[in-house]
Amino acid sequence: MGYPKGGLLVSTQISTKRDILIEEVCSHCPATSWGKKSVCRVHDLHVGKVETCPEWEKYCDNNRELEESDQSSAGFTDLEPAFEILQRTEEDIKDYRYMMVEIKRIQNYMNEIGSGTVSLYGAEFGQPRGKGIVSNRTHAEVAQRERKWKRLANLQASVDRIHRAADSITDKKERVVIEALLDGERNVVIAKQIGVSRQKYYNIKRTVIMKMALFMYGDEITEG
């Protein structure tokens, strides 16, 4: 499978470096109870959100090829759009469950206010009141409904794009990985589910993210 302009493939080296550091350093660090916990007690952050760490620097000093690989990728000025798309895809996957809940919430809201004039405006809707009060209230509620419809449409489009991208993945282990990620499973749990080491799992996960990104936003890379 080819990658447009080679940008997306090379850009994964940036995220690959962090994954390697998490696997090789954090998983053997007392701050994470030797990999048993995903939150670093030193940084008080999830290891995936740590930007820099002295232990990472020590590891890089002892493994110069990792640092050199990262520096070589940074020289490609066309990597930034592809890297942004990878990040956007990862955020979409992380936000998937929230989007599903939000879609249900908005649908329930729209069903409630659409059940009749009384529920929309209140039982006092037909009673006399000051000029302009009803029209102002009506305009505000119509504007609010339009905002809700637009947000609902955007969320449904995002979820549909994720579903179609996930359906395009045919490899069995990769399919398990994406389904588990969408369900909000932790990385260590998913690795156990498919019976691989954490490093192997991170390799599979990177491939899944790349495939999802290409399906969901591949046109943007090509146009860029």
The pLDDT tens digits of the residues spanning 67-105 come to 444 443 443 334 455 778 888 899 999 999 999 999 999
For 152-180, write each residue's pLDDT tens digit. 999 999 999 999 999 999 999 999 999 99
Positive or negative, the CA dihedral 177, 179, 182, 183 is: negative
User: What's the one-letter identity of residue 64?
Assistant: R
Give 18's contacts (C-beta < 8 A, 6+ positions apart).
Answer: 48
Whose CA is closest to 69, among 25, 15, 23, 24? 15
**What's the predicted TM-score (pTM) here?**
0.56
Written as one string, the DSSP assignment of the chain is: ---GGGHHHHHHHHHHHHHHHHHHTGGG-GGGTTTT-SEETTTTEEGGG----HHHHHHHHH-HHHHHHHHHHHT-TTHHHHHHHHHHHHHHHHTHHHHHHHHHHHHHHHHHHTS-HHHHH-GGGGS---TTHHHHHHHHHHHHHHHHHHHHHHHHHHHHHHHHHHHT---HHHHHHHHHHHTT--HHHHHHHHT--HHHHHHHHHHHHHHHHHHHHHHHHHH-
More confident site: 104 or 35 = 104
For 122-153, write each residue's pLDDT tens digit. 444 444 555 554 456 677 777 888 888 999 99
| Least confident residue range of 44-58, 76-90, 103-117 | 76-90
Q: What is the pLDDT of the chain when averaged over all its residues?
A: 75
